[in-house]
Structure 1
Amino acid sequence: MPKSQVRKKKVYTPPSDVSPAVKGASNKPSPTWLPVTAVTLIVVGIGWLVVYYLSDAQQYPVGSWGYWNLAVGFGCMVSSLGLLSRWR
């Protein structure tokens, strides 16, 4: 039985007009304040919600805000997620 020919694969060369990394973007590590601030916001948000739920008649931390205290607590936690998405 005759043997089939072995085909040589072409070497891949990426196109020159498309670069894999955005020019001008730095690959520097994140500043130290970023994770510290994000963790602080998480702790403050959870603390705010715990104090709100455990206070008598929900008068603390700010009684006149009512259910907006929930928005403050969850807002702190969501903003920390936004910061953590920038962490390298």
Structure 2
Amino acid sequence: MPESKPRKKTARAAESVSATQANKPNAVWFKPVMFGLMIIGLLWIITFYISEGKLPVGDWGSWNIVAGFGIAIMGFLMTTRWRS
């Protein structure tokens, strides 16, 4: 009875290495920065409304809302890369 050829194990080894790298947790600084950006963006917008447009940057006017949302959105985009 003929014997089958043995399979190459190099492909499996490469897959297991890439799988372990994909499941690697984030750096320690990742979560504080992610939540910090979301909170700073929220506080930026709240400060703008409470100060009636005078703060955080008076010359920007309504662009302060865009800046606040931009900062918060950067934090929310970081959640797509978050691994625990």
* TM-score (normalizing by structure 2): 0.72
State the structure with more CA Rg.
1
- Pick from 66, 70, 75 the counterpart of residue 70 of structure 2: 75
8 Å Cα contact 1:34-1:84 kept in structure 2: no
Which portions of structure 1, spanning 4 or more consecutive aligned residues, are displaced by more than 6 angstroms? none
* TM-score (normalizing by structure 1): 0.69
Unaligned runs of 5+ in 1: 1-18
Paired with 2:74 and 2:16, the residues of 1 have a C-alpha distance of 26
Paired with 2:16 and 2:38, the residues of 1 have a C-alpha distance of 32
Q: Secondary structure at the match of 2:81?
A: coil
The percentage of aligned residue pairs carrying the same residue is 34
Q: CA RMSD in A?
A: 1.9
Aligned length: 68
- Pick from 37, 52, 71 the counterpart of residue 33 of structure 2: 37
Shift in alpha-carbon separation, 1:22–1:63, aligned structure 2, 3 A? farther
